[in-house]
């Protein structure tokens, strides 16, 4: 298995819903010196200074209460899914594939939605 820049069960990537991509990129650039990788009109990755991405801006018609989607990384997605269920989490999206890997979404006991992803094939 190849060396990974991701750490098991640590916060890995945060997506922030925005209603105006250009204005949001301008704000974060001005406020925090963030730089972006544009993936089309609906998504921009937030570049890390040491390489890779720390998160992204996701274009939405409206921002829903609850804030950013915190995405954790796992080296064993199925085991993590089982542990989330065992701990009382409610799975809101079963494991699904996306470009770069697979992930699932869950709600914690307070109703906050988080996700867990992996670049490892099941």
pLDDT band for position 77 (cuts 50, 70, 90): very high
Q: What local confidence, expressed as pLDDT, does residue 2 receive? A: 57
Q: What does 3-27 look like in DSSP terms, one character per residue?
A: --S--TTSEEEEEEEES-HHHHHHH
Domain range 74-122, CATH architecture: Roll (3.10)
pLDDT band for position 63 (cuts 50, 70, 90): confident
Q: What local confidence, expressed as pLDDT, does residue 111 receive? A: 85
Q: What local confidence, expressed as pLDDT, does residue 4 receive? A: 76
Location of each CATH 3.10.180.10 domain in the chain: 74-122
Q: Report yes or no on whether pTM surpasses 0.75.
A: no
Domain range 15-62, CATH architecture: 2-Layer Sandwich (3.30)
Location of each CATH 3.30.720 domain in the chain: 15-62
Long-range own/partner contacts, residues 22-26 (CB < 8 A, 24 or more apart)? 24/57, 25/57
């Amino acid at each position: 298995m190849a060396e990974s820049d991701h750490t098991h069960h640590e916060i890995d990537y945060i997506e922030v819903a925005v209603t105006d991509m250009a204005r949001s990129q301008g704000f974060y650039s001005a406020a925090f010196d963030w730089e972006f990788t544009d993936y089309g009109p609906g998504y921009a990755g937030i570049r890390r200074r040491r390489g890779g991405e720390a998160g992204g801006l996701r274009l939405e018609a409206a921002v829903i209460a609850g804030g950013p989607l915190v995405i954790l990384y796992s080296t064993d997605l199925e085991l993590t899914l089982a542990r989330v269920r065992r701990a009382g989490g409610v799975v809101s999206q079963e494991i699904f594939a996306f470009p770069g890997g697979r992930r699932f979404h869950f709600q914690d006991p307070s109703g906050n939605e988080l996700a867990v992803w992996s670049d490892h094939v099941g």
